């Protein structure tokens, strides 16, 4: 297989799949591959690696039912890569017919090109068209063993397709800023004994920020921690990005005021750029997650936390099922969050151990290593299959 790769997906400044593809592309480049990426007309073209040019595809619309991928086909006919890799997420590719047509065209005009997809989301059922699309791929990548087993069951009535579990990659651990300086920049208490719990990412009802605030308020009310001891720092772009997102921010602030812990809440309703990430992580003592469900996906945001050597307290759910117990601290329910939150606030040694384990885990799952696993999978795909 030629060491050339086309990525197809969404590339903009607020999409986790985009960040994933950017970082994976860097891993491929470090392993001697050439990489190009195709973005949609609804995407803001931004910083995929400078060595991996983005081809804007103006007829590829994420949201329209008649979105076409004919320009991708034309580029593949003109310069066929070794593989076409589709970064698939249900909210990105709503028009499965366009992907099926792309498959058919690539098989007809460039049969040597392998077509692979990474499934960033997987639910408990597949539509008939989605099953057809997946069954005609050369290979499928999914982030968790649980997801691989579920997908294998869903496709068991069709011809077997190679499915490989490759965990979500991670950045190498970075050097943090001095904590007091980072807190000064963010307007947070600079006392070294003050604890900052960070919830980073979209501000959305699915993140259960209200539950976090309620549990924190109960800990303060019962005297298990003091209001002056802790700040819950919530940072991210409100979703939806209209007045609906800010309405949630206002409700959180109003509730904190109602229960008398306004000084224990700090909300930064902004898009946190790559350059700003380290400031927030440097200011915090641990990260807090409260997600339910998640299907068979994997949490990119928790892996971002771990790559910054952050202790993580998280709910046990579908998106955290693949994380080791010694790398993150789990709780099982909203009620169970309370003793675990009290513990991680008061136990500096536990936070230190989690931080060290996060560092080791991040070093094992770098994007370079993730890219090598992708390349190994490409190489094992039967070169005589599907029209080659």
Question: With 0-12 CB in 10 A as exposed, 13-18 as middle and 19+ as buried, what is 154?
Answer: middle
Say yes or no: 140 and 281 in one domain: no
Say yes or no: 162 and 188 in one domain: no
Contact 113, 146 (CB under 8 A): no
Query: So what's the pLDDT on residue 373?
Result: 93
In this structure, the number of other CB atoms found within 10 A of the CB of residue 37 comes to: 24
Say yes or no: 112 and 210 in one domain: no
Say yes or no: 199 and 211 in one domain: yes
Residue 388: inside a domain: no
Could you give the CA distance from residue 20 to residue 304 in angstroms, rounded to a whole number? 10
Question: With 0-12 CB in 10 A as exposed, 13-18 as middle and 19+ as buried, what is 304?
Answer: buried
Say yes or no: 104 and 212 in one domain: no
Residue 59: inside a domain: yes
Could you give the CA distance from residue 16 to residue 201 in angstroms, rounded to a whole number? 10
CA-nearest of 254, 306, 284, 73 to 182 is: 284
Domains contained in the chain, number? 2
Residue 174: inside a domain: no
Could you give the CA distance from residue 197 to residue 257 in angstroms, rounded to a whole number? 18
Residue 312: inside a domain: yes
Say yes or no: 294 and 372 in one domain: no
- Tens digit of each residue's pLDDT, the chain (388 residues): 788 899 887 655 456 777 788 888 888 888 888 888 776 654 443 445 555 555 555 445 544 444 567 778 888 999 899 999 998 876 666 678 888 999 999 999 999 999 999 988 787 778 888 889 999 999 999 988 888 888 888 888 777 789 999 988 888 777 789 999 999 999 999 998 999 999 998 888 888 999 999 999 999 999 999 999 999 999 998 877 655 678 999 999 999 999 999 999 999 998 887 788 899 999 999 999 987 665 666 677 888 899 999 999 998 876 677 788 999 999 988 889 999 999 999 999 999 999 999 999 999 888 889 999 999 999 888 544 544 4
Helix crossing, 334-346 with 348-364: angle to 10°?
A: 100
In this structure, the number of other CB atoms found within 10 A of the CB of residue 335 comes to: 10
Say yes or no: 151 and 228 in one domain: no
Q: Which domain holds residue 37?
A: 4-169+367-380
Helix crossing, 300-307 with 16-30: angle to 10°?
A: 60
Could you give the CA distance from residue 306 to residue 172 in angstroms, rounded to a whole number? 10
- CATH code for the domain of 242: 3.40.50.2000
Contact 121, 92 (CB under 8 A): no
Say yes or no: 234 and 282 in one domain: yes
Say yes or no: 160 and 237 in one domain: no
Say yes or no: 217 and 233 in one domain: yes
Q: Is the bond preceding residue 240 a cis peptide, omega within 30 degrees? A: yes
Say yes or no: 309 and 371 in one domain: no
Could you give the CA distance from residue 140 to residue 151 in angstroms, rounded to a whole number? 10
Residue 138: inside a domain: yes
Stated pTM of the model: 0.81
Say yes or no: 27 and 123 in one domain: yes
Cα dihedral sign, 272-274-279-284: positive
Q: Is 19 helix (H, G, I), strand (E, B) or coil?
A: helix
Residue 387: inside a domain: no
Residue 255: inside a domain: yes
């Amino acid at each position: 297989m030629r060491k050339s790769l086309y990525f197809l997906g969404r590339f903009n400044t607020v999409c986790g799949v985009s960040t994933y593809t950017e970082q994976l592309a860097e891993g491929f480049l470090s392993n001697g591959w050439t990489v190009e990426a195709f973005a949609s007309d609804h995407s803001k073209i931004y910083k995929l690696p400078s060595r991996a040019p983005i081809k804007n595809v103006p007829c590829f619309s994420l949201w329209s039912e008649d979105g076409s991928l004919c320009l991708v086909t034309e580029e593949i006919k003109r310069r066929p890569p070794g593989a076409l890799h589709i970064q698939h997420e249900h909210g990105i590719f709503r028009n499965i017919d366009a992907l099926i047509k792309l498959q058919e065209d690539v098989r007809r005009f460039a049969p040597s090109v392998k077509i692979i997809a990474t499934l960033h989301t997987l639910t408990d059922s597949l539509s008939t068209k989605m099953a057809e699309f997946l069954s005609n791929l050369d290979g499928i990548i999914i982030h968790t063993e649980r997801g691989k087993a579920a997908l294998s069951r869903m496709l068991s009535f069709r011809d077997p397709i190679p499915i490989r579990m490759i965990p979500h990659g991670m950045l190498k651990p970075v050097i943090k800023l001095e904590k007091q300086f980072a807190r000064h920049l963010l307007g947070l208490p600079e006392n070294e004994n003050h604890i900052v719990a960070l919830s980073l990412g979209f501000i959305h009802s699915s993140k259960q920020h209200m539950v976090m605030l309620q549990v924190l308020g109960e800990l303060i009310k019962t005297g298990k921690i003091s209001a002056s001891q802790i700040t819950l720092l919530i940072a991210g772009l409100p979703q939806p990005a209209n007045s609906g997102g800010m309405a949630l921010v206002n409700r959180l602030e109003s509730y904190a005021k109602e229960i008398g812990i306004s000084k224990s809440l700090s909300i930064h309703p902004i898009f946190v750029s790559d350059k700003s990430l380290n400031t927030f992580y440097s200011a915090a003592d641990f990260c807090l997650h409260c997600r339910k469900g998640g299907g068979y996906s994997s949490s990119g945001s928790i892996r971002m936390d771990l790559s910054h050597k952050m202790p993580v307290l998280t709910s046990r759910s579908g998106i955290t099922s693949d994380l080791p117990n010694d790398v993150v601290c789990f709780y099982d329910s909203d009620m169970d969050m309370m003793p675990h939150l009290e513990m991680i606030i008061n136990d500096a040694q536990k936070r230190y151990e989690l931080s060290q384990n996060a560092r080791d885990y991040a070093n094992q799952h770098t994007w370079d290593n993730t890219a090598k696993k992708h390349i190994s999978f490409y190489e094992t795909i039967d070169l005589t299959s599907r029209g080659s």
